[in-house]
Structure 1
Amino acid sequence: MIVIEDLHVTFRTERHVVQAVKGVSLHVREGEVYGLVGESGSGKSTVLRALAGLDGAWDGRMTVAGERLGKRRSGHFHRRVQMVFQDPYGSLHPRHTVDRTLSEPLKIHHFDDHDGRIRRVLREVGLDDSFRFRYPHQLSGGQRQRVAIARAIILEPRVLLLDEPTSALDVSVQAEILNLLGRLKRDLGLTMILVSHNLAVVAHMCDCMSVMRHGEVVEQLTVDQLRDGTVQEPYTRQLLLAAKGYDRAVVEELLV
């Protein structure tokens, strides 16, 4: 479904040139959830933004469902590929109701039966009609992220790009959103790329993953290898140890 080969993303200012992504390649099968993990600044979100068409400063080769992607994307691409962002408050217009937020993509892409589609997608994300005419400030963080997910799936895409979709939420709400995404993946047959720094989230959601550091993929492995701890790269091992939380023995192992 998704092929990325030798992707480079470079940002330039008057004084500096920053290579944010350096030769990343990955293949995602249809119906798979693929994880991109690494510390902040490793380039994982930049890969997602380049794939979504939000950053044009890239070189390499990318295809979705066999379609070669250029710097400019068609309306057909944006119906096929949708993105859910990290901050559910910042990604929703503060002066737009839920109804308007969900209506806009339907108008842009010329869908019919707006009322029926909005009612249906709200049910799919676990919200009833009482949320339809509320504003973002009247919703909790989890409810806002459900609206953001509804906005993404209302166009009936085949691919969802998820940029840390639970990191801004309380731990109890994180589990609800992850379970929702898992159910939508099964019910709608979605292919997903999930960016996260949380290995527990990746282990719960993903089939395969790439570990990124300094803009490069340092290791590719299955989630079974992640769970078993059978990793090859020292950096991946450090991430696994750090995921255990504070422990004197873990800290001493990291300092070795």
Structure 2
Amino acid sequence: MIEIEALNVHFGSNHVVRDVSFRVEAGETFGLVGESGSGKSTVLRTIAGLNSDWSGRMTLDGKRLGQRRDRAFFKQVQMVFQDPYGSLHPRQTVDRILAEPLEVHGVPDAEARIARALEEVALPRVARFRYPHQLSGGQRQRVAIARALIAGPSVLLLDEPTSALDVSVQAEVLNLLADLRQIRQLTCILVSHNLAVIAHLCERLAVMQGGRIVEILSERELRVGQAKHSHTQDLVALSHELEK
């Protein structure tokens, strides 16, 4: 579904992503993990069409992606951001937030779709006409997920979707994403600095350091300690320390 080949991204003179290559099969959830500044979120934002200064080759479902994306791309590919409060319009109700992508993409039957979207992400009906500041952090992220999925994309890009949430809410949102991925047969790329989050959702993952992918391995290889690169081993050791 997604193929990235020799992706390079520059911010001015700063070379932030260096020769990154990987592929994601249809229906797979692929993880990008690494410490802050490793380039993982930049890769995701570039795939999403939010960075235009890049070189390399990217294809989606066999079609090559250019610097600019058309409306069909944004119907097929949607993104959930790290900060649910910052990604939702503060002066729009949940109803309006969910109606907007339906209008943009000309999707009919908005009333039924909005009601179903709220049900899918386990939000009560009363949340429909509330504003983001009237919702909890977990509820806001559920709205962001509902907005991303309401027009029926096949690819979901997830940028640290639980890192801004309380620990007690993180597992709920991760389980929701796992359920929606299976129900909708989504292809996903998940960015996180947390190996436990990656292992919970992803079949395979790429470890990034200094803008490069240093290792690609399966979730099983990660769990049984078969990581080969020293940086991956350091991340695993740090994860174990944090769990104590």
Decide: shared fold, TM above 0.5.
Answer: yes
TM (norm. structure 1) is 0.94
Tell me the equivalent position of 2:105: 109
Tell me the equivalent position of 1:2: 2
Alignment deviations for residues 188-219 of structure 1 (CA, whole Å, 9 cap, x no partner): 00000000000001111100000000000000
Secondary structure of the residue aligned to 2:161 is coil
Q: What is the distance in 2 between the residues matched to 1:96 and 1:179?
A: 27
Rg bigger for which structure?
A: 1
Q: What is the distance in 1 between the residues matched to 2:223 and 2:186?
A: 24
5+ residue gaps, structure 2? none
Alignment of 1:90-239 (within 5 A): 90-239=86-235
Alignment of 1:44-123 (within 5 A): 44-123=40-119
Alignment deviations for residues 111-158 of structure 1 (CA, whole Å, 9 cap, x no partner): 111111100111000012211000000000000000000000001000
Secondary structure of the residue aligned to 1:212 is strand
Secondary structure of the residue aligned to 1:116 is helix
Q: What is the distance in 2 between the residues matched to 1:246 and 1:58?
A: 35
Equivalent AA in structure 2 for residue 119 of structure 1 = A
TM (norm. structure 2) is 0.98
Q: What is the distance in 1 between the residues matched to 2:136 and 2:155?
A: 26
Q: What is the distance in 1 between the residues matched to 2:114 and 2:63?
A: 29
Equivalent AA in structure 1 for residue 171 of structure 2 = A
Q: What is the distance in 2 between the residues matched to 1:113 and 1:158?
A: 20
Q: What is the distance in 2 between the residues matched to 1:131 and 1:87?
A: 19
Q: 1:245 to 1:130 in 2, by over 3 A?
A: same
**Sequence identity (%):** 60
1:242 maps to 2:225: no
What displacement does 1:246 show?
5.4
- Residue among 23, 26, 30 paired with 1:27: 23
Q: What is the distance in 1 between the residues matched to 2:91 and 2:241?
A: 40
Runs of 4+ in 1 over 3 A off after TM superposition: none
Pairwise CA RMSD: 1.1
Tell me the equivalent position of 1:254: none
What displacement does 1:67 show?
1.3
Secondary structure of the residue aligned to 2:222 is helix
Secondary structure of the residue aligned to 2:240 is coil
